[in-house]
Amino acid sequence: MTASTAFLPGRRAFLRQGAFSLAPLALASLNHGVSASSGAMAPRSPMANGRAKAVIHLFMSGAPSQLDLFDYKPELARLQGKPLPPSVIGNQRYAFIRPEAGVLGPQFRFSKHGQSGAEISEVFPYLSQVADKLCIIRSMKTEQFNHAPAQMLMQTGFSQPGRPSIGSWALYGLGAEASDLPAYMVLSTGAGISGGAGLWSNGFMPGVYGGTRLRNQGDPILHLSNPPGIDRAAQRAALDLAEGLTRPILTAQADPETSTRLAAAEMAFRLQASAPELFDVSTESEATLKRYGCDPKKPSFARACLLARRMVERGVRFVTLFHEGWDAHSDVAGNLRNNARVTDQASAALVADLASRGMLDETLVVWGGEFGRTPMVETNPTLGRSQGRDHHPQAFTMWMAGGGIRPGVTIGRTDDLGFHVVERPVEVYDLQATILNQLGLDHTRLTFHHAGRDFRLTDVHGNVIREALA
């Protein structure tokens, strides 16, 4: 046995056990955060002439009440306290309310805004100011009734974990433009996320396509700061050593996950230089900070929205901002006031700021939750609940802005009780198809071969929402 062959098993074991421990910046959280430097993430031409280069998805986890925000139903006020006709409810069963539960009328006043005349609740005074830039879809529907499966469906096209997220599909189709930042970034505010990390997972795709989640406190990404005694030269030497040991195996085996780890370590090295500038929002003008309602020193939804704009400005392809806390089983009015106070100003500022910088045409902003809320009231003394609304998959509202989306329009309609969609139903798959379409990707042709068949984000479903296109 030669010395070289005797060394080989040890080298493999060394790599299996984590050679990148030699490089403090080869972060576990960045195993997916690879930039255009890696071949799998090299920028690619879109399939068609997409208007958007980037997406910012403001995901309102927990399901905002469309009936109190965007879909005004005066008939509900007239029927306050009375049960809905059985013919309306049909076979729908609810976890926390009985079919004969009384109607709960709109909790806030609505007004028409802008030249479009969009009807928006009084709890969204800032969003009302950009009404003419919004495409409001009142006829969304979903097949999922509970939070985690519905969030999974919205983000991955499937109700169970294991599929690639829509951000992963975007990276797979287009690659990355940023050279020193992860191309798919995830931020979160509020109480937590029911669907968990599967909402931004690469699923069965190579890890290079997964999202990178940022923390709200301390270093945005773990170990971004140097540990004591390690300088940049030492990091560079450790990375070069790890790459030198790994490259022959990568060449021989062509393992995509090995490539992902190499690229992730390089990304982490570059990110240490680029991240401090990105996250230092204090460099923004006082007028911009005031527009968002952002305190640069405090984590907040406003700061996350401002960071999202800074990310796409620097070439990040896909940003998802999760804001949890809209699950109003009790006191729906109080829930909406609180969440609107946190999110309204910054959501509107993001749209207006992108427009003022000439970025809105190439940035698609999407806002909404995983389903809607019932027209009937949820009151359960045993659970301490009153004046709430239960989950409602049959109808909910979302809005989009920019990225080639037609501004100042409202699409779809629900019945007088807000229970069923009666005009232009829009499935979750249709929304996904439209997002990909605006990026220049055909959802029927964007496929990934796995386990013997070709998968796509929308499976066998989905049609682009043509009425929403400019």
Alpha carbon distance 197, 220 (integer Å): 16
Residue that has been written with the tokens 């109700």 in this structure: 159
Q: How far apart are the first and last CA of the chain?
A: 70
The pLDDT value recorded for residue 267 is: 66
**What is the DSSP track for 107-144?**
SS-EEEETTTTEEEETT-HHHHTTGGG-EEEEEEE-S-
Alpha carbon distance 194, 214 (integer Å): 17
Alpha carbon distance 85, 338 (integer Å): 32
Contacts 24+ apart (CB under 8 A), 292-298: 292/345, 292/346, 292/349, 292/350, 292/353, 293/345, 293/346, 293/349, 294/346
The pLDDT value recorded for residue 341 is: 98
Assigned CATH for 15-468:
3.40.720
Domain boundaries, the chain: 15-468
List b or e across 58-89, with b for residues whose CB sees 16 or more CB atoms inside 10 angstroms: bbbbbbbbbbbbbbbbeebeebeeeebeeebb
Closest C-alpha among 438, 434, 436 to residue 463: 434
**Contact (Cβ atoms closer than 8 angstroms) between residue 188 and residue 213:** yes
The pLDDT value recorded for residue 251 is: 76
Closest C-alpha among 457, 4, 450 to residue 204: 450
The pLDDT value recorded for residue 3 is: 36
Could you read off the pLDDT of 391-413 as tens digits, one per residue?
999 999 999 999 999 999 999 99
The pLDDT value recorded for residue 192 is: 74
What is the signed CA dihedral for 281, 286, 292, 294, rounded to 10 degrees? 60
Alpha helix (H) ranges present in 17-146?
Answer: 66-69, 74-78, 86-89, 125-128
**What is the DSSP track for 316-345?**
--EEEEEEE----SS-HHHHHHHHHHHHHH
Q: Would you tell me how many other CB atoms lie within 10 Å of the CB of residue 333? A: 17
Burial group, residue 431, by CB count within 10 angstroms (0-12, 13-18, 19+): buried
The pLDDT value recorded for residue 6 is: 35
What is the signed CA dihedral for 258, 193, 223, 313, rounded to 10 degrees? 80
Mean pLDDT by 10 residues, the chain (470 residues): 37 41 37 52 92 98 98 97 92 84 97 98 98 98 97 98 98 93 94 90 95 79 68 73 77 72 67 78 97 96 98 97 97 98 98 98 98 95 93 98 98 98 98 98 98 97 98
> What's the distance, CA 351 to chain centroid?
16
Could you give phi then psi for residue 427, rounded to 5 degrees?
Answer: -85, 160
